[in-house]
Amino acid sequence: MAKWGEGDPRWIVEERADATNVNNWHWTERDVTAWSSDRLRQLLLGVRVEGSEGVCEVTEVSRLDGEASINNRKGKLFFFYEFQLRANWLGTSCSGLKYRGTIDVPNLSDENDEDDLDISVSLCKDQPSTPLLDLMKRSGGKEVRRVLGQYVRDLKSDFSQGMILPTADGQKPSTPVASKKNQVKSSKTQVSSDARRSSSPATCPTGVSIQTCSFSLKETFQTSADELYRTFINQEFVQVFTRSAATVDARRGGKFLLLDGSVSGEFTELVPDQRIEMRWRFRTWPSEHCATIRLELVDRGDETELELEGRGVPAGEEETTREGWRRFYLQAIKQTFGY
């Protein structure tokens, strides 16, 4: 971790001594899955509707699969959540007869508005037909939709505080915004690295000589080589896994610009499904200085092994550059596409 006032304000996470995010310029994440699960159960178990047919109420949340997180990026909050849930309901007719049923919601996520939720209400298979099912579909479904919307509002209001702090110059940060993304549970990332300082300085185009170093990473993806190749050079794919606008001209000599302008460069060699080589730089590096990044893709049948080598990285930046590539490229691709 960089200390306050030092290091890169976008690529790495800067912290005060008390581990707080000081500039809001980089990406920090907070896992709120446990809170979300508790809040969803609490809201759903409060669902109760009455009508001329009788009374229906949710008695149990039998399934709640998914995850939720909040990200602070450059002073803006992004909320990511995706859940599949099932609740059990009990209906009591005016004559006192009991009926049991279920409610399924397969698409509670940041991609869907409250009105877009698919809410399916049904009776258990061993239950006879009853007007209570119509009551639950008509009024119960509406109430379930309302409380799920309440969960989203609570998520944004309860966690907006503390995720965004005043910036170092005292300016007020931007207001929270919502973001939409297909979220896939992350796989365990295995990283092997080897940082090496070069024995001679590199010369920037401006004529300034700097010491440089190298690093390497190795990762396995559960996808084909051609699919992984496209993921790195296709502009739409890049925008998805970086969660931001990007410009990617996928041809030799083509330029790229991503992560809000923090990363830029050009492709120097493209061998479809096998190799990607690029001149790559981070915004705070010495003026116009670029490292050489080489990606080798080895097809292993049902998986692809990626070998990354970075050369010409400014001395002292190998750890943050390696971690940036691991987190914002390799791990982000795994989490986003499920590779």
Query: 7: which 2 tokens?
Result: 């290091």
Domain 28-159 has CATH 3.90.330.10: no
Q: What CA–CA distance (Å, rounded) separates 87 from 40?
A: 11
pLDDT in tens, the chain (339 residues): 333 333 444 444 444 444 444 444 445 677 889 999 999 999 999 999 999 999 999 999 999 999 998 877 656 778 889 999 999 999 999 999 999 999 999 999 988 889 999 999 999 998 999 999 999 999 999 999 999 999 999 888 877 654 444 444 444 444 444 444 333 333 333 333 344 444 344 444 444 568 899 999 999 999 999 999 999 999 989 988 888 889 999 999 999 999 888 899 999 999 999 999 999 999 888 888 999 999 999 998 889 999 999 999 998 888 889 998 999 999 999 888 888
Four-CA torsion 208, 209, 213, 214, nearest 10 degrees? 70
Q: Is the pTM of this model over 0.85?
A: no
The dihedral sign for the CA sequence 22, 215, 234, 80: negative
Asked if 28-159 and 212-337 have one fold, the answer is no
* CATH code, residues 212-337: 3.30.530.20
CA distance 255 to 301: 31
Residue 42 sits at φ, ψ, to 5 deg, of: -60, -45
Residue spans of the domains in the chain: they are 28-159, 212-337
**105: nearest Cα among 129, 124, 121:** 121
